Amino acid sequence: MGKNDSSKTRVVPIFDCLYKNDKTGLSWLSKLLSLPKGEHQLNLPLDVNLKIQDIGWGDNEKKLVPPVSLLSWLIRNPRKPSSGVLSSNPLKAKKREALINGAEECIIEGLKLLRNNPNGETWHIFEGETQPDVFIKTPDVLIVIEGKRTEREPTTSTKWMLVRHQMLRHIDCAFEIAGGKKVIGFFIVEGEGQSCDVPSQWIKYAKDTINSQVIQSSLPHRGPEEQKRIASSFIGVTTWQQVCKEFDIKWDTLPDKVEG
């Protein structure tokens, strides 16, 4: 982040360019989806509709809410946060401490609040919204992309979950609003120098994302079939350099640092 913020130096200039050239996405979205490399090959029907209906990146990033089934699981399986801080609010901290210590009345109350919460209580919420760097919706697909630049590795945990891989989190939340749409997720990362090749460590991270143990730990609220579908929705990783090459975007026109 900081002066090398991938959203401002890669996501926005590249996706603004693609969208400006064709707001329907029909001339570029299919090509973009062919670039990531991973364990799961993307096979879309010939009649798939890839005409863009909605987008979100930069200042208009989409916020995806966590599945209620996950929020319920976290209430029923409470654990201390990685930071050790339950809340800066003493009342919330007290409730959460009681929950972690097994207070049945807190479990019951928390689960009820998921269904009916007229006063906007938040002590029972153990995962917030997730924001993929790029969100694209068409009549048939819902795409979530996580962009990286200087980050050495993906985010693999949250405050309340020791294992909750960022990409799986994006896809998991997208599933909640997908309806009958196919969910697709992938990374775009920085190659070395001007190379289009995916760095070896990111090839490894892509494989790790769909490791069976990672899938089970990141998606404890999902059954085996849903876990399998979410894993298969992750199609791998490509580079910003490869995207620029594919769409004739001059690499040297991208900002190297955020101004100001």
- Tens of pLDDT, residues 23-57: 999 999 999 999 999 988 898 999 999 999 999 99
Q: Give 142's strand partners.
A: 137, 183
pLDDT band per the 50, 70, 90 thresholds, residue 150: confident
Residues of the chain with pLDDT > 70, as a percent, come to 98
What amino acid occupies position 40?
H
What would the 3-class secondary structure string for 41-91 be?
CCCCCCCCCCCCCEEEEHHHCCCECCCHHHHHHHHHCCCCCCCCCCCCCHH
Please name the residue that has the structure tokens 């009342």.
91
pLDDT 10s digits, 183-201: 999 999 999 988 999 999 9
pLDDT band per the 50, 70, 90 thresholds, residue 260: low
pLDDT of residue 2: 61
2-6, 88-92, 139-143, 167-171: least confidently modelled range = 2-6
For the entire predicted model, the pTM comes to 0.95
Asked whether the beta carbons of 28 and 16 are under 8 A apart, the reply is: no
Asked whether the beta carbons of 4 and 25 are under 8 A apart, the reply is: no
To the nearest whole number, what is the mean pLDDT of the chain?
95
pLDDT at 1 over 70: no
Six-digit token string for 21: 């050239």
pLDDT of residue 191: 95
